[in-house]
Amino acid sequence: MPLPTIPSGNVASALGGAYEVANSCRFNFADSPKLSKSVSSGSGSTKFTFSCWFKTTTVNSSYGRLLWNGDSGGSYETHITLYADGRLAVYWNNGSDGARSWLTNRYLRDPSAWYNLVVIYDSTDGTAGDRLQIWINGVRETSFSESTNPSSNEVINVFKADVLAIGREVTSADRFSFDGYLAEVCVIDGTDYPATSFGEFDEDSPRIWKPIDVSGLTFGTNGFYLDFEDSANLGNDANGGTDLDESNIAAGDQVQDSPTNNFCVMNPLDNYFNDADFSQGNTVIYTNGGAVYTFNTATFFLSAGRWYWEVKVAAGTNGTGTAYICGISDEPTAATSQELGNEGTQWGYYGAGHIRHNNGNDGSYTTYTAGDTVGVYLDLEDNKLYFSKNGTLENSGTGVSITAVTNSAISNGGYFPASGYFDGDASSNAAYFYHNFGNGDFNGTAVSSSVADDNGYGLFEYSPNITGDGSAKKFYSLCTKNLALYG
């Protein structure tokens, strides 16, 4: 298999457990999103803990602030930042004490994985090297390209009376948005909690770090806990303190993708010609031309079961017509110009009104165009592929026969969801593909119907259940809770 997806060492989402994280908040870089509040009183702290679960998109153009505190002029600041290349940084400048900075040598840039970050600060510790600790998925980071130990009893200005923000820097420059998903954000004033206060290793899979209930922790005067359970108030402090103000974050940014149920997204690592732009937590791709035929695949590789997802299409700046293709491929984008459906192991519903397969037509369907929603039903039990347009099943419910995964023709052992545009000429065509793998929205706008699958996961515009080829069939959202059923 050419690209790794949802590696087990990074995410607990396929495992059941006593504690489940229901939602996360999506931060879309182009929107300049942030959650912020004023710190009315405070001069910093000698003890501080920050914990969050994050899923990055790897498309940050520079830096993504996970946490930031400072003044608008930037004369002092504290921040915890994910660099564009995936390294993590902790920095503060107290003025008279000078700057303190840590930068990991480790790169966290898997767009299919949830990571837990814990930053622990205790300047009262007698060991200088233990006063600032960074933990990833329950393991302490020990390799840094930058590291400056704080002095004994040195105050970190994370709670200095000014603005404290999650997801973006709040200065006159107003910059450095985080791009991705955040869950279980804990900002703790006055206590140095260990990493085991936020997660634990699974008994049966000891490489997997899982979230635990944090509601019993003490968050301190200026601390807070964001659980993102209220879509109408995503800045709600679940600990009961002052809520954070939302900026460029809407109800549609509450999603079910979480560290205990990881959802499929489109894969920015499969972008051979750099032909597509990714946004909305990698659920939206924009094929912006480049004079090539190409497509993009998702982070889930499916080898068994029945799966459903939705793709809403929209025209780009120059795009018109029906040259959209939504379907499946057994491999990522080839190293040559190729539209989806060019190979014998690819099938796509072409907007012009047919199934594209093996560089030809494989059945006539209804045409679709900008504004329409294509439903994709992948049946790996009966080796059939079904499509719908705006909730109406195509071809009278008769599916297209696809090659069984056990067949040697499917050399990679499964299929990726895939989308692409037939014409790569940027001067005349471009297209948006809004993917809903069960996360419940198209391009940040929540679906109106909110239909879950029969396991209770996902939110779709249309039902994932069909009557096809003479029998009733149930299909499921692309999340790791459902994947575990076929493990």
What are the residue ranges spanned by the domains of the chain?
24-255, 276-486
Q: What are the backbone angles phi and psi of residue 389, rounded to the nearest 5°?
A: -120, 115
In this predicted structure, what is the pLDDT of residue 236?
97
In this predicted structure, what is the pLDDT of residue 1?
33
Q: pLDDT 10s per residue in the chain (487 long)?
A: 334 344 433 445 545 557 999 999 999 999 999 999 988 766 678 999 999 999 999 765 678 999 998 876 666 789 999 998 999 999 988 766 668 899 999 999 899 999 999 999 999 999 999 999 999 999 999 999 999 899 999 888 888 778 899 999 887 677 899 999 999 999 999 999 999 999 999 988 888 999 999 999 999 989 999 999 999 999 999 999 999 999 999 999 999 999 999 999 999 988 876 678 899 999 999 887 655 678 899 999 999 999 999 999 998 765 556 789 999 999 988 767 778 988 899 999 999 899 999 988 888 899 999 999 999 999 999 999 999 999 999 999 999 999 999 988 887 899 999 998 876 554 556 789 999 999 999 999 989 999 999 999 999 999 999 999 999 999 999 999 999 987 6
- pTM score of the predicted model: 0.93
By CB atoms closer than 10 A (0-12, 13-18, 19+), residue 204 is exposed
In the block, residue with structure tokens 């379907």: 327
Distance (Å, whole) CA 454 – CA 468: 17
In this predicted structure, what is the pLDDT of residue 320?
59
CA atoms within 13 A on the CB side of 81: 26
Q: SS3 sequence, the chain?
A: CCCCCCCCCCCCCCCCCCCCCCCEEEECHHHCCEEEEECCCCEEECEEEEEEEEEECCCCCCEEEEEEEECCCCCCEEEEEEECCCCEEEEEECCCCCEEEEEECCCCCCCCCCEEEEEEEECCCCCHHHCEEEEECCEECCCEEEECCCCCCCCEEEEECCEEEECCCCCCCCCCCCCEEEEEEEEEECCCCCHHHCEEECCCCCCCEEECCCCCCCCCCCCEEECCCCCCCCCCCCCCCCCCEEECCCHHHEECCECCECECCECCCCCCCCCEEEECCCCEEEECCCCCCEEEEECCCECCCEEEEEEEEEECCCCCCCCEEEEEECCCCCCCCCCCCCCCCEEEEECCCEEEECCEEEEECCCCCCCCEEEEEEECCCCEEEEEECCEEHHHHCCEECCCCCCCCCCCCCEEEEEEECCCCCCCCCEEEEEECCECEECCEECCCCECCCCCCCEECCCCEEEECCEEEECECCEHHHHHHHC
In this predicted structure, what is the pLDDT of residue 423?
64
The encoded tokens of residue 95 equal 């003025």
CATH class of 276-486: mainly beta
305: left (phi over 0), alpha (psi -120 to 50) or beta: left
By CB atoms closer than 10 A (0-12, 13-18, 19+), residue 276 is buried
Distance (Å, whole) CA 281 – CA 148: 33
CA atoms within 13 A on the CB side of 261: 24
In this predicted structure, what is the pLDDT of residue 356?
92
Q: What does DSSP say about strands 156-160 and 43-45: parallel, antiparallel, or unpaired?
A: antiparallel
What CATH number should be reported for the domain whose range is 24-255? Answer: 2.60.120.200
